Amino acid sequence: MTHYGLQIGEKYLVTVADDLGRSASVNQAIAEAHDNGILTAASLMAGGEAFQDAIKIALERRHLSVGLHATFCDGRPVLPPSRIPALVGSDGCLKKNPAVAGLSYIRPALFPQIEAEIEAQFNRIEEAGIHPNHVDGHHHLHIHPVIFEMLCRQASRRGVSWIRIPREPLSAVLSLHSRFWGILSFVEWMVFRVLGVCNLRTARRHGLSVADSVFGLSRTERIDEKYLCDILNHAKGSLNEIFTHPDTATGAGRLELEALTSSRVRERLDSLGIALVGYQELSEKNVTVTSALERL
């Protein structure tokens, strides 16, 4: 794949695959999307069933930026259930539904368990030889105000430079969806916009940077070649992120893999003058983005 040098004034795109470590099929898709496509970064689930395979894939690809995919629902924790009894069910897994989990996490009595699990997830990937360049969350539960504050604090202590705040331009939400999906996406956009205002300030207080725009929220697990080409027209900031979910075992995941390895998408990037970059490169160059907060 092509890696571009960083030049002031250029427009950059970070392409991220979530769920690295969740399964062997996800790992395989992420490796292929990086080796043969435009994928520059991946977010690693510390409690994923294919964690060790994911570490091998990451360590073999020095240009793949790896971050923590903080997991607080629909997955397995790193700590034993006895350490975090309020966060898990009888099966030892985190609550399946992100909304149910998020509502329970507002109770102060749970805060020490949440923070302990955050620390354990960071520790596991660092002990495996990965220094995370960015942090985001499974099903975006990391934007929960309680979890976001704790994540920022831990990330800052560990030298992590970037955190995801899903921020799609409203123009993209309204123009790239049918009427029905557009209404639902607008409601979702409003919720994330309100949370984003608070979270941007929290990120800045802890010295973390965020991308100008982050695409993928309104088409999660439904990104195809056409959508990826169309969404690039809305990448107006100096640094944009698109997050994806490639997986060789599912129809939706294979479509996303095809989009990430599409020659048409590569040509579209070139025609728009958008350079691919990873959060690792941005961290090494000490690049920061503050314009998003200043526009609020």
Q: Any idea where the domains of the chain sit in the sequence? A: 11-294
Please write the tens of the pLDDT for every residue from 74-94.
Answer: 999 999 999 999 999 999 999
Write down the pTM of the prediction.
0.89
Strands 11-20, 274-276: pairing kind? parallel
Handedness of CA 200, 10, 273, 255 (dihedral sign): negative
Quickly state the pLDDT bin for 284 (edges 50, 70, 90).
Answer: confident
User: Any idea what the Cα angle at residue 241 is, between residues 238 and 244, rounded to 5°?
Assistant: 160
Look at residue 109 and tell me whether its pLDDT is greater than 90: yes
Cβ-contact 227, 259 below 8 angstroms: yes
Q: Where are the alpha helices (DSSP H) in the chain?
A: 24-36, 51-59, 98-104, 111-127, 145-157, 170-175, 179-205, 225-231, 251-260, 263-272, 279-284, 291-294
Please write the tens of the pLDDT for every residue from 245-282.
Answer: 999 999 999 999 999 999 999 999 999 999 999 999 98
Please write the tens of the pLDDT for every residue from 198-257.
Answer: 899 999 999 999 999 899 887 777 899 998 998 898 887 789 999 999 999 999 999 999
Instruction: State the amino acid at position 256 in one-letter form.
Output: E
Handedness of CA 174, 9, 211, 123 (dihedral sign): positive
Closest CA to 247 of 263, 223, 264: 223
Q: Cα separation of 40 and 144, whole Å?
A: 26
Q: Which two tokens stand for residue 108?
A: 């102060």
Quickly state the pLDDT bin for 197 (edges 50, 70, 90).
Answer: confident
Instruction: State the amino acid at position 161 in one-letter form.
Output: S
Does domain 11-294 match CATH 3.20.20.370? yes
Please write the tens of the pLDDT for every residue from 115-169.
Answer: 999 999 999 999 999 999 999 999 999 999 999 999 999 999 999 999 999 888 7
Query: Helix, strand or coil for residue 7?
Result: coil
Q: Cα separation of 56 and 173, whole Å?
A: 37
